[in-house]
Structure 1
Amino acid sequence: MRKVILNLAVTLDGFIEGSNGEIDWCIMEQEMDFKGFLDSVDTIFYGRVSYDQWGNYKVDETADLYEQIMWKKIHGMHKYVFSRQKKKDAGVTYISENVVEQVAAIKQKPGKDIWLYGGASLINSFITNDLIDKYILSVHPIALGKGKPLFEDLKQSLSLKLENTRIFHSGVIELTYVPIK
């Protein structure tokens, strides 16, 4: 069965973006092998706001080849957008109800794993409904002091087991956890 994987950057103080939505603190380096992660997934789960911001992001023509390849791969994946708004976009499936059942059905379909992209509200909903199979958190060596926290308003504690750790030259530490059920 396919797994839902939350893979995202987080600051030392637990924020996934600054108070104005900024992510300019996020370090991407080839050593992290993000392309390797992208090769392991073929589907992306977005919240509506994240999809509106990044779902059709156009990479600058002057961007390096690695970034161009990354975005081409991302845009080639099947996209599900979880939203109360019912819209229609080519290549996108909108889900507005029965989220737990819909996710279970998608996980049963053939294919690679699924990337839970975000945003924060969708991530919180997936945590609350125990829909995340693996957490890959890249902790960046910066503290913002304020912003959008990763774990906001948890209804109960979340117990995780450390599965892997990778340390990069930039100071980023990638922590891979699986839920203890």
Structure 2
Amino acid sequence: MRQIYAFLLTSLDGHHAATDGSLDWFRTDEEFERYSRGQGDVIDTIVMGRRTFEMMAAYWPTEEAYAEDPVVAAFMNDLPKIVASRTLTSHPWGPTTFVADDVAGHLAAVKDRPGKDIAIFGSSTLVGDLLPTGVIDELRVIVNPVVLGSGRSVFAGTAGPVGLHRTAVREFGNGNVLLTYRLDA
């Protein structure tokens, strides 16, 4: 069976975005970029919430995105996307399915089909909503060595508690740390 993993970026103090919504504080380097590009080899579906979808749809189809990172641009643009949204029903960006209700049920059905893994990129509100349902199998959280002081909490709104156990830790040369967790059975 396929697995669904959520890939989230957070500051050391637990924020996925600054108060104004900006993400320019996040440190990247070639090692992080290689890791990001490698995700395209193991997935065949991308899941996002509406806000993340709109942000990514504004960037990845652009010439700038293809010039900056052609590998990630290719899989972001070409892979099927599932978007949790009560307001969007169509969009010209790539193959996209919009799901307004029972997102967890929809994803569970997709998980049962043959294929590669399914990735949720960003979309911390969606991840918080889905964690208690058990449909997410794994969390991959990159902790950046930056303290924002305030911002949008990475797991705000999660109806918890949700038990996790750590399965891996990876340190990146620039100080980022990738923490991988599985949900407790």
Cα gap change, 1:86 to 1:10, in 2 (>3 Å): closer
Residue number in structure 2 paired with 1:67: 69
Equivalent pairs: percent with the same residue?
A: 28
Q: Alignment length, in residue pairs?
A: 181
Superposition RMSD on alpha carbons, in Å? 1.9
Rounded Cα–Cα distance in structure 2 between residues aligned with 1:62 and 1:80:
24
Residue number in structure 1 paired with 2:168: 164
Given that 1:120 and 1:148 are in contact with CA atoms closer than 8 Å, whether structure 2 keeps it comes out as no
Displacement of 1:150 = 1.0
Displacement of 1:64 = 8.4
Given that 1:59 and 1:68 are in contact with CA atoms closer than 8 Å, whether structure 2 keeps it comes out as no
Cα gap change, 1:59 to 1:131, in 2 (>3 Å): same
Residue number in structure 2 paired with 1:127: 131
From 33, 56, 59, give the equivalent of 1:57: 59
TM-score of the two chains, using structure 1 as the length reference: 0.91
Given that 2:65 and 2:73 are in contact with CA atoms closer than 8 Å, whether structure 1 keeps it comes out as no
Displacement of 1:147 = 0.9
Cα gap change, 1:59 to 1:82, in 2 (>3 Å): closer
Q: Which amino acid aligns with 1:94?
A: F
Given that 1:45 and 1:118 are in contact with CA atoms closer than 8 Å, whether structure 2 keeps it comes out as no
Rounded Cα–Cα distance in structure 1 between residues aligned with 2:85 and 2:120:
14
Residue 148 (1) aligns with residue 152 (2): yes
TM-score of the two chains, using structure 2 as the length reference: 0.89
Residue number in structure 1 paired with 2:117: 113
- More divergent stretch after superposition (54-63 vs 21-30): 54-63
Cα gap change, 1:170 to 1:86, in 2 (>3 Å): closer
- Structure 2: which 5+ runs fail to align? none
Name the one with the larger helix percent. Answer: 2
1:56-77 Cα offsets, whole Å, 9 max, x none, are 5247656686622212221111
Residue number in structure 2 paired with 1:103: 107
Cα gap change, 1:68 to 1:126, in 2 (>3 Å): same
Given that 2:50 and 2:88 are in contact with CA atoms closer than 8 Å, whether structure 1 keeps it comes out as no
Cα gap change, 1:64 to 1:107, in 2 (>3 Å): closer
Rounded Cα–Cα distance in structure 2 between residues aligned with 1:89 and 1:62:
20
